Structure 1
């Protein structure tokens, strides 16, 4: 047995998911950007109707935790009034659109993503984990981020549409990009892609019109905490921040906020300055992935984040501490991965959560001793 349950769907605002600490309500801000008043309103809703904890996800969404069956409806109404939730649940479910976080108003990424958002009703019903990436800046940023249909900058400078899992794609223009994305999404459904669940697992040959030899440009350096042309980049340890801390920061600075898929948050127009609950340097804690663990997740049998924080300064490379074999915090392999199983940890190297372990049945203390000696 796997030891965990694959839900097969992702929560959103209209369809929350029950976790160990209450309902999980996912918010997809348009273009992954919130004005200052939207941040403050969202934080107020998180405190009033949830447990005040906010997660930044690998799809640049926000998750408000701790809602109840009674408090969830007023939470969603508050978010809808802020323009952060579509009043149409169908449109909301189709709005999984990643955009390169350094977009500028009027550029290709902004224009294509905006058009796609206005045409969500033209999309077919897709599996809930399916998403789009609009990555049309000078250098692709989202190549490792989860998405199934991608608009990218090609190596020759042109725009291209690429199906995830394929090395090359077809050339498009800013004018034709949204049409091509919608058409490819319909092909995915019509060719029984829903059975595979994700584009990268769908083995059907692409239609001729969607095939091409355009390859994406090489990706640039990863975004880091600190100064950025857009503003100040802050790291959120484990992607978590308290609503009160975030609200106080935005209220004091009056800044809009952009979300990224790397647990980094951009405060627009600011010079870097210290902020409660956020990190301004490339601290070891930002190189650790850890899910919420027990007791917040009913599938986890171990606490994760206290152990991850203890281990962060002791090791080199990427560490993943997962409460179960599902590996929600990190889909890709890590240099070291600790997977919870029946109240203890399995340790694997260069692997994903649940991989064949080098050591089994480790207590937190034994895990610290082993990894601290590496």
Structure 2
């Protein structure tokens, strides 16, 4: 049997603003914009900070957050102060570390999703202490858009239009009213902790060994919505960023040239420029949904991450044009760029790659020790 990839150092938490993570090029500081939205001025300000304190790029993460990389430890307090001045972080580090909230980007001020966001934000300090990797999805607009997003507690819409709370890993959820939604969430969170969920780390993993109460599994969510792709959108344009990497100079120019008013962050490493003019084509962003790079996922890899022994993104770019499958090139078996199963996953180990088909980076590979220059279409 083939051996799995060497186990990397798993932190059990994600880098935040108050609690950054040390990588090969300095600190990684994650910014979770409230409601996954930045005003044009906030976006320009974040570009300025990435250039002043980081490496001049922003990373758009799989959870629709932004990261500044390459921050010196001595500069971290000054960066925090600037982020707070922009209104992009919580003053309470404990709240900021648990504010992993996905929203359907179609939310509107005062709608159900917006109201649930406010209620959830207020409730975060009173929830049981859970692993910081855990998160929440407010998939309550048209429904089904966030199905592939990383979340453990999911507010969704049923086929009859009702609100449900579903535990990730279950096919069905629990009908709730808006007024009782947060109390139901607290019940589920307390159940998770009391049944040993902290040891599992995530809801779906916990439910592989422990059964959720049957009355919390009665109503399935609405079918998944059609995927959003780059192109014209209501009141703006959706653009993609290859591997989530955004050049700050290009983003600043984009905001200035279009006159966009807001920037909403989306799953799939895309963002929605709202208001203003349609952007002119640019090599820095993905403008068409058929671009194969959108199906390719890759972390920064070596030398930027100490866990990685392989370079990732040039290989992912080359292979993306050769396959119609979702492709993941991971520097190690943590799989940060896509922490779930997909059609083809290449996992770096000791300077070579292991191949996992229809699995996650930590699964047993079908082939091991593939040299980067020998991997081809036949392996996919």
After TM superposition, is the score higher than 0.5?
A: yes
Instruction: Give the whole-Å Cα distance in 2 for the aligned partners of 1:353 and 1:207.
Output: 31
Aligned residue among 311, 314, 320 for 1:306:
314
What secondary structure sits across from 1:347 in the alignment? strand
What secondary structure sits across from 2:321 in the alignment? helix
**Corresponding position: 1:260 with 2:271:** no
Q: Is the 8 A contact 1:13 1:25 kept in 2?
A: yes
Compute the displacement of 1:302 (Å). Answer: 0.6
Instruction: Give the whole-Å Cα distance in 1 for the aligned partners of 2:145 and 2:173.
Output: 17
Q: Is the 8 A contact 1:226 1:272 kept in 2?
A: no
Match of 1:222 in 2: 227
Q: How many residues align?
A: 371
Compute the displacement of 1:111 (Å). Answer: 1.1
Instruction: Give the whole-Å Cα distance in 1 for the aligned partners of 2:366 and 2:167.
Output: 36
Match of 1:213 in 2: 218
Structure 1 unaligned residues grouped into runs of 5+ = none
Instruction: Give the whole-Å Cα distance in 2 for the aligned partners of 1:267 and 1:121.
Output: 32
Instruction: Give the whole-Å Cα distance in 1 for the aligned partners of 2:70 and 2:355.
Output: 31
Instruction: Give the whole-Å Cα distance in 2 for the aligned partners of 1:358 and 1:200.
Output: 25
Distance 1:92 1:354, change over 3 A: closer
Match of 1:332 in 2: 340
Match of 1:343 in 2: 351
What is the correspondence of 1:154-169 to structure 2 with a 5 Å cutoff? 154-169=158-173
Instruction: Give the whole-Å Cα distance in 2 for the aligned partners of 1:191 and 1:347.
Output: 35
What is the correspondence of 1:268-283 to structure 2 with a 5 Å cutoff? 268-270=274-276, 272-273=278-279, 274-275=281-282, 277-282=284-289, 283=291
Compute the displacement of 1:329 (Å). Answer: 1.2
Q: Is the 8 A contact 1:249 1:275 kept in 2?
A: no
What secondary structure sits across from 1:297 in the alignment? coil
Q: Is the 8 A contact 1:314 1:372 kept in 2?
A: no
Task: Point out the more displaced range, 142-151 or 267-276.
Answer: 267-276
Structure 1 runs of 4+ aligned residues shifted over 6 Å read none
Compute the displacement of 1:373 (Å). Answer: 8.3
Instruction: Give the whole-Å Cα distance in 2 for the aligned partners of 1:124 and 1:349.
Output: 37
Aligned residue among 80, 84, 92 for 1:80:
84
Match of 2:203 in 1: 199
Compute the displacement of 1:124 (Å). Answer: 2.3
Match of 1:66 in 2: 70
Match of 2:249 in 1: 244
What secondary structure sits across from 1:125 in the alignment? coil
Q: Is the 8 A contact 2:259 2:277 kept in 1?
A: no
Compute the displacement of 1:292 (Å). Answer: 0.7
Distance 1:184 1:359, change over 3 A: closer
Aligned residue among 274, 288, 293 for 2:301:
293
**Corresponding position: 1:361 with 2:365:** no
RMSD over aligned Cα atoms: 1.9
Structure showing greater relative contact order (alpha-carbon pairs closer than 8 Å, 6 or more residues apart)? 2
Q: Is the 8 A contact 1:314 1:371 kept in 2?
A: yes
**Corresponding position: 1:43 with 2:47:** yes
Match of 1:315 in 2: 323
Match of 1:98 in 2: 102
Q: Is the 8 A contact 1:171 1:212 kept in 2?
A: no
What secondary structure sits across from 2:74 in the alignment? coil
**After superposition, what is the alpha-carbon deviation per residue over 1:106-148, rounded to whole angstroms, capped at 9, x for unaligned?**
2111111122113322222211111011111122211111111
